[in-house]
Every structure is written in C-alpha cells, then in structure tokens.
Amino acid sequence: MLPGYATPTGTDSYRQRLATTVHPLHFRRSADLWLSSIGLGTYLGDPTPQTDELYAAAIRQALVRGCNVLDAAINYRHQRSERVIGQVLTALVREQVLEREEIVVATKGGYVAFDGDVPPDPRAYVQETVIKTGLASADDIVEWNCIAPHYIDNQVDCSLRNLNLDRLDIYYLHNPEAQLQKCSRPEFTRRIEAAFTVLEEKVASGKIRRYGTATWNGYRQQPTARDALFLIDLVEIAERVGGKDHHFKIVQLPYNLGMTEALTQKNQRVGDNTISVLEAAHDFGITVMASASILQGRLAHSLPTTVSEALSGLQSDAQRALQFTRSTPGITTALVGMKSVAHVEHNLAVAQLPPASLEQFQKLFRPQ
C-alpha cells in the first residue's frame, strides 16, 4: 500500500509545480491543504474493463494537468472506480511523476457495494455478505443505504485496499439522509453518532484524516422536510463524540447552475439566524465540495444566452457551468465526472482562467 497522505507541504509543492500551467487562484487553501478548484469524479460509467481503461487515462491526465482532488465511493461502478484510482496513483508515484502527499483522495461509504459487477441475486448477496456476517441488520439498511458502525468500519478498510492506500484524506458518509426515510429523527441522531464514533476511531488509528457527509437531498431541502440535514446538529454530534477537536470537517453536496440551493436556500439555523448551508459551513469551519457541477452533462449544452453573456471568455456551456460552480463563494472544489482525456483537457482549460468576478457572478442572479 502507498504510505502517507496529503500534506500542506506536498499540496503546496504540487501547486507551485503547476504554477505556469494554471491560474494562481485555481488552488484554494482548505484545512492547511492546497486543493484544486476542479476535482475529478468517478461516478458514471459501466462496470467494464473498457470503462476502467478510459478512467485510468483520464485520471492520469488530470493529475499531471493540475487536478489534485480525486473523488470516489466504494459503490461507484461496484468498487471499480476506487480500484482504478488506486492503480493510477500507485503507478504515478512509482514512476516519480508525483508524490502521494500531493494528492487529496476522497471516498464514501454508506451504500451496499457489489464486487465488480451486479450479482445474479443482489438481495441474497446482501444477506450473505452483510447480514449473516454481522456487519449490519436488515433494519439498518434503508433502500440499500447502511451506516451501521460495523459496516462503516468494514467499508473504510475495503476502500483502503481498493485504493492501495494506508490512509484516506477524506471519508464521507454517503447520503445518510436516506436513513430518515425509515427512522425517526432521534433514531437518526443515534445512528449518526454511532457512525461518527467509528470514524473518529479511524482517525485515531491513522486510517483517515478527516470525515464528513456527502449528500444529495439533505442540505438542499426546506427545513421542514423529513430528510433535511442541519449542520449545527451534525457538529454537535461530532463534538459529543470527538470533543472540540473533532474531525467532521467537510461536506459534499450538489451545486450547479440548475441546483443553487446551497447558496440561495436559507435552511440552516445558526444562533438566532437562518442562513444558507454555504454560510453555515463557513461559520463552522467546514469545507464544501460541489458535486454534479455540470449535472452529469445536462448543463453542457443549451444554456440560456444570459449565462454566456455573464461568463464570457469560455468556449462551451460545459466550461461556463464549471466556471459558475468553482467561482461561487464558499465552494472549494467543483467536482466533475471525467472519463476521457478529451473531457479532462476541455474542463481543465477553465483552470487557466481566474474565477468569475463578483460582477460577472451577480449578473446571473439579477432579475431579467
């Protein structure tokens, strides 16, 4: 396994080495690390060797062109996405193209993960590998989502093996709000506390550096929604488990031109105020990474002319969508799925430009 983890010195070395390739504001400081404003996601694609090869080439190109944030989940393409990242990162370190300490690797656990492909009988697979082994009970699994402590403990170790790493930079609970479809708010709190306890133990044992929540609906909802998540509650749980020096330090959520709730929805209570999740994250010192920056390709074409007028100097709607997300105050990294070298080249061309100015950005929110 590759030893080490992303460090302030390593990520700064990467930033300086790429100084002539990307704009200086492409890299942002977060928790003493330098993170690229564009990160590579690995969600989409078939679970096939052909897709593995496409991702391998794209990841290699991204790492040498100025993207030092890689994002996965153990269930993405049935563990194949993690395994490809591990193979490419190991090869580049051995070839002395880069150092492990320069790259931020994030993954997620919380969904039942198949092994390489969908088994003939998925429910029997869950019964044999999860329930009979004691990793979780049937009651712990809600629509394939499971954050039971033994299961999360197991999944962290599985991800480390897949990625060929001895330590993860970021580990997310994957869509934990799914649990609220079934359990009460007090029971949800108990389940989160049990999962956070395991993750703090993983930090203490040197297997992860920091943890958080990667969500789809949780932070975008009205505060009255059954599956709404509140940062203040999660921070309080983390403090109960890990004290004031807890390691709940990052969240991931969808944010793009078509899903602006993280910026515009006032759904987080902090003190006497109700503010957006981006504002609340800033108040709590929590890093925010945006997923679905071009909404799985749906924002790569046919955007209104107001967008091209506001975000000038870009070649395509895909670049404009990416520029919008990475330029939003409070967003550290805009994640975008890239499984071809051509997509990497096109998307990382945005990194050569400064983020959109406040004036450009505000044009998008002015009444027409």
> Which two tokens mark 52?
């593995």
Q: Report the pLDDT value the prediction gives residue 367, as an integer from 0 to 100.
A: 54
CA-based nearest residue to 72, from 122, 113, 31, 125: 113
Reference 248, options 294, 293, 193; nearest CA is 193
Q: What is the pLDDT of residues 89-145, one digit of tens each?
A: 999 999 999 999 999 999 999 999 999 999 999 999 999 999 999 999 999 999 999
What pLDDT, on a 0 to 100 scale, did the predictor assign at position 103? 98
Strands (E), the chain: 27-30, 33-36, 38-41, 69-71, 104-109, 168-174, 208-214, 248-254, 268-270, 273-275, 287-291, 333-337
Residue 133, classed as helix, strand or coil, is coil
Model-level pTM? 0.97
Q: Within its chain, how far is the Cα of 110 from the centroid?
A: 13
Determine the pLDDT at residue 342: 95
Query: What are the residues facing 27 on neighbouring strands?
Result: 36
Mean per-residue pLDDT of the chain? 96
Residue 181 burial (CB < 10 Å; 0-12/13-18/19+)? Answer: exposed
Please report, rounded to a whole number, the percentage of residues in the chain having pLDDT higher than 70.
Answer: 99
Give me the domains of the chain, ranges plus CATH numbers.
8-363 (3.20.20.100)
Instruction: Find tokens 């999860």 and name the residue.
Output: 130
Cα angle 164-165-171, degrees, rounded to a multiple of 5? 115
Q: Is the pLDDT of residue 368 over 60?
A: no
**For residue range 154-202, what is the model confidence (pLDDT) as tens digits?**
999 999 999 999 999 999 999 999 999 999 999 999 999 999 999 999 9
Tell me the per-residue pLDDT of 324-360, one tens digit each, with 9 for 90 and over.
Answer: 999 999 999 999 999 999 999 999 999 999 999 988 8
| Nearest Cα residue to 287 out of 34, 24, 23 | 34
pLDDT at 10 over 80: yes
Quick one: pLDDT band at residue 366, thresholds 50, 70, 90?
A: low
- Pair 37, 25: CB distance under 8 Å: yes
* pLDDT given for residue 244 in this prediction: 96
